[in-house]
Amino acid sequence: MKKVFQSLPVSFAPYRLSIYGVVFFHLLAALFTVVSIPMIIPFFHILFQSSETPNPNSNVSGLELHLQEFVQQMVSTAGQQKAILWICLVFIALFFFKNLFRYFAMFFMTPVRNGLIRDLRQHVFDQYQRLPVSYLKSHPKGNLLSILMTDVQEAEWMFRNSLETLIKSPLIIFGCIVFMLYLDVRLTAFVFILLLFTVLVIGGVSRALKRESKEAQDQLGHLHTIGDESLTAFPVIRSLAAEDHIGRQFATKNNRYKNLYDKVLRRRDLASPLSEFLGVSIVALLLWYGSGKVFEQALSPEAFFAFLFAFFQIIEPAKSFATSFFTIQKGMGAVDRINEVMQVDETNRFLGKDKLSGFQDRLEFKDLHFSYEEGGRLLSGVNAVIPKGSIISIEGPSGIGKSTLVQLILRFFDPSKGSILVDGKHIKSYNIQSYRQLFGYVDQQLNLFHDTIAENIAFGSDDKSDNRIRKAARDAFADSFIGELVNGYDTVIGEQGLKLSGGQRQRLALARAFYHEADILILDEATSSIDSKSKTLIMKALQEKNEKDQTTIIIISHQDELKEIAHTRYVIQDGTLLKINS
């Protein structure tokens, strides 16, 4: 159990008091369960041997002898029927307190279980915000979503079905075994041999379960990837009449997942019937072996009944424990996938401590080299100085490295060689949050969110001022189409803004960049879907923002109109940044 908990990327410290409460009340519940077992001895003693006087020299335990003496005195005082009534009332009281304490244990367990799952889901989500861009680009989004949702859900089922059992069941089993040892060591040893065989059988099945469960989770990640791609790229799929093609891909992965999950569930479902069958087999052998000891008068009949009762008290916790063990092995497949993501550490990249209060002087590239693949070359020997307040354009055909240069500026990647300086200092020396606040970024993908127009414009800001939102929309010439919508700025635009046209999405993304009033504005093909009139107005707005606020503007594009507002034009050629003479 300790190993299972240690493998989870969450802290148990906030729930320490609740966990103590869980253990304490489960301990009391187990205690009352065990205490109820010896009460069967006086019941059967009254039922079968009420007229006999206990013999101190007989082969009975001290506890049994004391119970017999107590019962004999009760029978002589109150009679058989009333004595049995009192024993039954004691039974009721013991089981009342057992279940009361069990409820208290579950009461304290609820915030622990739900809180740990909440923390786990939050840790995974927070880790996604820190993952290197290279990791995000090399791992399918559907698989990452599968880890965040499905694998965390699998871990939740593991907690829900196992956490209580792992605490309660061992306590009950331990108490019953102690009582069984007290009654007869050799009979208990016989039971242990049979239980050991059971554990070996179940353990062999569970090891295969963990492996197959992880494979099934991987396949589910592939399913999510295909599903995500089919919904995101539906225009391409339908324009190529490729619905059947992607349907076959999904069907192949779906069938593979189904077959794997069949194996997982069959092994998991085997746990309870297998443990029950083995338990009944043990009981049958126990009856045979124990009855021989009764016939030999090595054990009294009522003590043997109490031994059987204690063993039956073990069977249910043992079955729960076996089922939980299977559930844990299945859940550990999901936990392993979660840990693979959580162990990706990028903190060493962002150890800079200097805080930037603003852009004062220049942005500079010094002998910059970069390649996505080891041994390749995309950017090679880039050198340039971008002064504060300038408008520059970086031009060149697609795939030449324009957007990559922007991602290096934003520290999505680090260069293979060379450096980027802001105000004369290496960008690695700056705190990453304060550094990135220098920039307003509009990328080619126009990433918008399933929220209102106002929330999209003010996204990432705690200060959601209506006046600032409307001003940013006006500056980006988005207010004209927003005013035509029924709900105006409260219009929900759908996932990735699909309820808007391409040009409307671009103007909304520009408005978001303007809202944050960044010192450096980067536009990566940000005007490619806007009509000529709107484009002219946006270029004018950019010039006004540059002149009024001294905003530095970096425009990534291949369009000729940009040379009219750019102070300096660059082109990427053979991996190097070359200045174009205007």
Max CA pair span of the chain: 120
Question: What value does the mean pLDDT take over residues 222-241?
Answer: 68
**What CATH number does the domain containing 547 carry?**
3.40.50.300
396 CB-near residues (< 8 Å, 6+ apart): 402, 558, 571, 572, 573
Instruction: Kindly report, residue by residue over 42-78, the tens digit of the pLDDT.
Output: 766 666 654 444 444 444 455 556 666 666 666 667 6
Evaluate whether residue 472 is within a structural domain. Answer: yes
480 CB-near residues (< 8 Å, 6+ apart): none
3-state SS assignment for residue 499: coil
Q: How many other C-beta atoms are found inside a 10 Å radius of the C-beta of residue 204? A: 9
Residue 551 belongs to what domain range? 362-580
Question: What value does the mean pLDDT take over residues 542-571?
Answer: 81
Convert 73-85 to b/e letters by CB count within 10 Å (16 or more is b): ebbeeeeeeebbe
pLDDT at 568 over 80: yes
pLDDT at 54: 45
Question: 33 or 57, which is more confident?
Answer: 33
CB 142 within 8 A of CB 224: yes
Closest residue by Cα to residue 14 from 87, 98, 122? 122
d(CA 531, CA 510): 15
- Same domain membership, residue 449 and residue 337: no
pLDDT at 56: 46
- Same domain membership, residue 460 and residue 333: no
Burial of 349 (0-12, 13-18, 19+ CB in 10 A): middle
- Same domain membership, residue 379 and residue 320: no
CB 477 within 8 A of CB 534: yes
Could you tell me the two tokens for 131? 């993952």
Evaluate whether residue 355 is within a structural domain. Answer: no
In the chain the first and final C-alpha atoms are separated, in Å, by 71
Evaluate whether residue 480 is within a structural domain. Answer: yes
Number of structural domains (the chain) is 2
Output the CA angle 34-35-38, nearest 5 degrees. Answer: 100
Considering only 104-108, 187-191, 298-302, 557-561, which range has the smallest mean pLDDT? 557-561
pLDDT at 104: 92
Evaluate whether residue 181 is within a structural domain. Answer: yes
CB 87 within 8 A of CB 61: no
- Same domain membership, residue 475 and residue 328: no
Q: Which among 287, 311, 344 is the end of a domain?
A: 344
- Same domain membership, residue 254 and residue 212: yes
Indicate the pLDDT class of residue 388, thresholds 50, 70 and 90.
Answer: very high
Burial of 139 (0-12, 13-18, 19+ CB in 10 A): middle
Beta bridge partners of 524: 556
Evaluate whether residue 556 is within a structural domain. Answer: yes
- Same domain membership, residue 297 and residue 376: no
| Sign of the CA dihedral with 480 first, then 483, 484, and 485 last | positive
Beta bridge partners of 421: 364, 426
Beta bridge partners of 439: 520
CB 187 within 8 A of CB 282: no
Evaluate whether residue 356 is within a structural domain. Answer: no
Closest residue by Cα to residue 50 from 79, 88, 89? 79
pLDDT at 288 over 50: yes
**What CATH number does the domain containing 186 carry?**
1.20.1560.10
Beta bridge partners of 392: 554, 568
- Same domain membership, residue 380 and residue 277: no
Could you tell me the two tokens for 84? 């049995």
Evaluate whether residue 354 is within a structural domain. Answer: no
Question: What value does the mean pLDDT take over residues 237-250?
Answer: 73
Going by the DSSP 8-state scheme, the letter that residue 356 receives in this structure is: P
Indicate the pLDDT class of residue 230, thresholds 50, 70 and 90.
Answer: confident
Going by the DSSP 8-state scheme, the letter that residue 52 receives in this structure is: P
- Same domain membership, residue 366 and residue 431: yes
- Same domain membership, residue 373 and residue 280: no
Q: Which among 311, 344, 377 is the end of a domain?
A: 344
| Cα 130 off chain centre by | 15
d(CA 265, CA 105): 29
- Same domain membership, residue 375 and residue 273: no
Look up residue 342 and give its amino acid. M
Q: Which among 295, 318, 344 is the end of a domain?
A: 344
CB 552 within 8 A of CB 520: yes
d(CA 253, CA 221): 10
pLDDT at 333 over 60: yes
Could you tell me the two tokens for 157? 């089922």
- Same domain membership, residue 557 and residue 461: yes
Length of the chain: 582
Helices (H), 54-138: 62-78, 80-130, 133-138
pLDDT at 305: 79
- Same domain membership, residue 375 and residue 340: no
pLDDT at 30: 83
What is the DSSP pairing of strand 439-442 with strand 520-524? parallel
Burial of 397 (0-12, 13-18, 19+ CB in 10 A): exposed
Percent helix, strand, coil in the chain (nearest 5)? 65, 10, 25
pTM equals: 0.69
Evaluate whether residue 351 is within a structural domain. Answer: no
